[in-house]
Amino acid sequence: MDASLAIMSDRTAEKSFDLRLPAPGFASSALACGQPLVVSAGPVPGSVRVEHHGVQLAAGYLSGPAANLLTFDTISPAVSAEDIVNAVSEAILACNPQLTCFEIQLADDDLARRLLESGAIERSGDRLIVRPESFFQQARSWLGSAPKSYPEVPILTNGVLHPQRPPKPAGRVYSRFIPWLGTQLGFHVADIEADLPHFHRWMNDPRVAAIWEDSGDLAYHRDFIAGRLADPRTLPLIGTFGGVPFGYFELYWAKEDRIGPHYEADGYDRGWHVAIGEDDYRGKAFVSAWLPSLMHYMFLADPRTRRIVGEPIHHHAQQIRNLDRSGFAKVKHIQFPHKKALLVMLLRERFFVDRLLSPDLTGLSEEDGQPVLGSLVRGA
């Protein structure tokens, strides 16, 4: 169920539609991946409020005779005003991806300047607007901070010239509230002690073992994780829904990976492998949450990453369908010693301009029969 805020359409002042928000609130991770800011409908139709630890920090409304116009009545100095504006923007765009943009009015010129400099808002004539293709590249809201570009120093590894890779992060690297599931999705760097028990169980699951072929004892899997953590080329992540681990995600830099020689790999192309270990987290609603979120993380982690590649085994029809729906182009088949794979590729421009962070969830609906929050229906 969701609460609705009546606003004017950006196409015509005579027509309107309901801007939907979850009834319990949208938990934005704008506070550096700490306790979220909760954005919910206010007591008056058309109003919106922002709370942190149950304390109201901001209030505003959406209105306007000619455009979707977001105006704040109050913004508390207790929390960064940028975080508050970004939290409200995220809630609006994530729950209502049919909006191509909305206008924002800010009384604080310095706040407007900071948001303009970051790209969170843009100037269009005398208007300030928020566009999803720009806003969703604001790394701070999901990574907790703006990533710094590591110095580009060429090094040679096994005869391959590639950029020197940065030190591995630790702990949580990405967090995003999923409106259609009503819970937080997170990725954290695998921790050998904390994540070994479920990783060991997943890798010995027959369904996972059939693809990964990495079943074994605890010692083998401890060495597996330790090896990935030590390898500059790879980053092992654990995915969680509501804090519950559900899958393993292995990111790699494509240039020095086995896939690199099979196409003209750029120094910042990135690829990934996945093992979903918990059956309760399979299905369209879940894959539509973690798959675009993982792509989002890779594009945000380094702004120089222009392409994401994958190498699913050529006969894994379901995985290839999921990738196709998520914007990956089928490039060609490649032959590895252990498998015949399909090279797939996702462009940064395609991901953000086509708003692929918002999946097409046709076929899923809320209890009241409305389409699920966050679904962006697309044509064939």
Catalytic residue among 51, 122, 311, 349: 311
DSSP letter string, 201-233? HHHTSHHHHHHH-----HHHHHHHHHHHHH-TT
As a whole number of angstroms, the distance between CA 237 and CA 270 comes to: 14
What phi and psi values does residue 17 have, to the nearest 5 degrees? -145, 170
Contact (CB, 8 A) for 267 and 163? yes
The answer to whether the beta carbons of residues 285 and 181 sit under 8 Å apart is: yes
Q: How many CB atoms lie within 10 A of CB 116?
A: 14
Angle at CA of residue 158, ends 155 and 159, nearest 5°: 70
Query: What count of other Cβ atoms lies within 10 Å of the Cβ of residue 195?
Result: 20
Length of the chain: 380
Query: Is the Cβ–Cβ distance between 257 and 272 less than 8 Å?
Result: no
> Is residue 93 helix, strand or coil?
helix
Rounded to whole angstroms, the Cα distance separating 287 from 292 reads 8
CA distance 357 to 136: 8
66/12 Cα distance (integer angstroms): 7
Nearest CA among 106, 68, 70, 103 for reference residue 88 = 70
- Is 311 assigned a catalytic role? yes
At residue 117, the 3 state secondary structure works out as: helix
How far is residue 262 from each of residues 18, 127, 171, 235, measured CA to CA in Å?
49, 47, 33, 21
Q: What is the DSSP string of 264-290?
A: T--TT-EEEEEEE--GGG-SHHHHHHH
Catalytic amino acids? 311
